[in-house]
Amino acid sequence: MHILVTGGAGFIGANLVRRLLQEGHRVTVLDNLETGSHGNLAGLEGALAFLEGDVTRPPSFPEKFDRIYHLACPASPPQYQKDPVRTLTTNVVGTLAMLDLAAASGARFLQASTSEIYGDPLESPQKESYWGHVNPVGPRSCYDEGKRAAETAVMDHGRTRGTDARVVRIFNTYGPFMDPADGRVVSNFIVQALKGEPLTIYGDGSQTRSFQYIDDLVEGMIRMMENEAGFAGPVNLGNPEEFSVRELAAEVLRLIPESKSALEEHPLPLDDPKRRLPDISIAKEKLDWEPRINLASGLQMTIPYFRKAIHGT
């Protein structure tokens, strides 16, 4: 198939593109390189078509696509808060533009949504039926509400225009090709431990997260795209094992035994969720999917990537 991946030079995109190429598909990447990089696609130059461009003002494509994976949007708080209006525009205008492209191409469409649509949840684990507890006017709203609006666009496109569009809600994911400076907790802790710097704990570190290795996520995304039952979702893709931020810090330090890093507490950011844990019952039922890689194993596969990125070895 001919597959378009928007945001394909980012962390998730780079891993997805590699998997799609391994399966023998033709892949086109559209990325404005705001948070992605050519380095994430190094070695693939002859295997894919790369277009530098913005989903809010997409270029003309000479060919139609069979599938569109829509990943384009800054995903970590420091990145999406740099220009919140642009983040909101990317989520809403960009998603609508890509849905229109899917409709014109007759392509199947997958929207990369997020667990952030649940906000600071009042129930845990979070089920897809939970409508969320989101601040619409806070510093994270450009992303949280932008992704919620994007889900609306996907579902309305399907209902009114017949577009075959599906939604996955992605929970915390980590692995190779993460930006060492992206500001998310796994990359922060690994980089700080490798540099011997204090590990930054926000609040008292009791807030919990679920951590999913990238290969598990990519498998779930492909299963959602290729399910022939017409199941549109939304569906949670995440690891249902719950860890506090302090527990994650301890595991990172255990796996980097040379590190002498201590823990350093900082004030908790506004609207930072206290718990983030997916209910994946629907993914199990509809996609026969659940994560296979536990936190320790995933970190062991991730740390060498960061070690090379920082120290070159």
Residue 253 and residue 123 share a domain: no
DSSP string, 228-260: TT-----EEES----EEHHHHHHHHHHHSTT--
Assigned domain for 286 exists: no
pLDDT computed for residue 270 by the predictor: 66
| Percent of the chain residues topping a pLDDT of 90 | 83
- Mean per-residue pLDDT over the chain, rounded: 93
Which two structure tokens, joined as six digits, stand for 155?
């579902």
pLDDT tens per residue across span 260-281: 999 988 887 766 667 889 999 9
| pTM confidence score | 0.94
Residues 86 and 151 in one domain: yes
Could you confirm whether 143 is annotated as catalytic?
yes
Same domain, 302 and 156: no
pLDDT for 118-128, tens place per residue? 999 999 999 99
Residue range of the domain that includes 303: 185-209+241-277+293-311
Number of domains in the chain: 2
Among candidate residues 69, 80, 143, 174, the one labeled active-site is 143
Q: What CATH number did the domain enclosing 249 receive?
A: 3.90.25.10
Joined together, the tokens standing for residue 128 give 């897809």
CATH code, domain with 35: 3.40.50.720
Distance set, CA 50 to CA 53, 108, 257, 267, 306 (Å)? 9, 20, 40, 41, 25
Q: Are 305 and 259 in contact (CB under 8 A)?
A: no
Q: Which value, to the nearest 10 degrees, does the dihedral of the CA atoms of residues 48, 184, 145, 141 take?
A: -130
Please indicate, yes or no, whether residues 199 and 106 belong to a single structural domain of this protein.
no
Check whether residue 138 and residue 227 sit in a common domain.
yes
